[in-house]
Amino acid sequence: MNEIHPTAIVSDKAQLGQANRIGSYAVIEDGVLIGDNNDIASHVVLKKYTRLGNNNTLAEHVVLAGLPQDLGFKDKPTYVELGDGNTLREGVTINRATKDNGATRLGNNNYLMALVHVGHDCQFGNNIIIAPSSGIGGHVQIADKAFISGGVMVHQFVQIGCCAMIGGNTKITQDTLPYMMTDGVPATVHGLNLVGLKRAGFKLDTIKSLKEAYRLLFCTPLSLEEKLLQINAIENEHARALVNFIRVSKRGFHRDKQAG
């Protein structure tokens, strides 16, 4: 039911579904759980505590569930969990979590390009794209349809909002607002992510509401609380989601390049 190259090392304590293809010199350790119809290329390493859903594509030299890069970590059962339909290109590494029975999680249909590193305890939504050579620190949360360009470095505990777009080689040290473009060192907001919003199917009236939310947030002399109250009064769920994102932010958020 599975195609396994004769040079691959697959533990008899791993659990495999059906119609998986496992390439030469791949290593699948004890306790790994794999669903159905996954493509696992040559030299992939799935370490113990990897949980893989269905229809994922893992290119050469992907390593999942390596020990967290945390000096205080004591080896314990923690996991890396992937949903369905994810693509991990060459050299992607994802570390497992640090807390007992915790997991570093990716949802569905995410695309991580070559040499992306995902640190321990990260939580990813769906349809996220991360370009080559980006590094995601521990405990980072990334919402659906975010786009992270190449060479981006994201500090631990940061939140990246829905449909956010981050420019290449940006240094992210605070939360990154949903629906907006953030770029530069230091990182600043450069307007709405209009291309991403249109690709995500946002209607014109929603984009108009988000433009008004942007104006209120960055182009008015009000206090932050007054701005949030006015944005929250806009009759649009995404404008209100922006308010909620800001209210729960613990690190603060990157600001507009002009507003500071």
Task: Please name which of 143, 141, 144, 102 lies closest in space to residue 118, comparing C-alpha atoms.
Answer: 141
Tell me which residues are annotated as active site: 120-121, 138
pLDDT at 243 (0 to 100): 98
pLDDT at 259 (0 to 100): 62
Domain boundaries defined on the chain: 3-139, 198-248
For the chain, what's the residue count?
260
Is the pTM higher than 0.75?
yes
* CATH 3.30.470.30 is held by the domain 3-139: no
Q: Which H or E run contains 238? A: helix 237-248
CA distance 92 to 118: 8
Q: DSSP string covering 69-103, please?
A: S-TT------EEEE-SS-EE-TT-EEEPPSSTT-E
pLDDT at 220 (0 to 100): 95
Dump pLDDT digits (tens) for 70-126.
999 999 999 999 999 999 999 999 999 999 999 999 999 999 999 999 999 999 999
pLDDT of residue 260 exceeding 60: no
Dump pLDDT digits (tens) for 143-198.
999 999 999 999 999 999 999 999 999 999 999 999 999 999 999 999 999 999 99
Dump pLDDT digits (tens) for 17-43.
999 999 999 999 999 999 999 999 999
Q: Percent of the chain beyond pLDDT 70?
A: 99
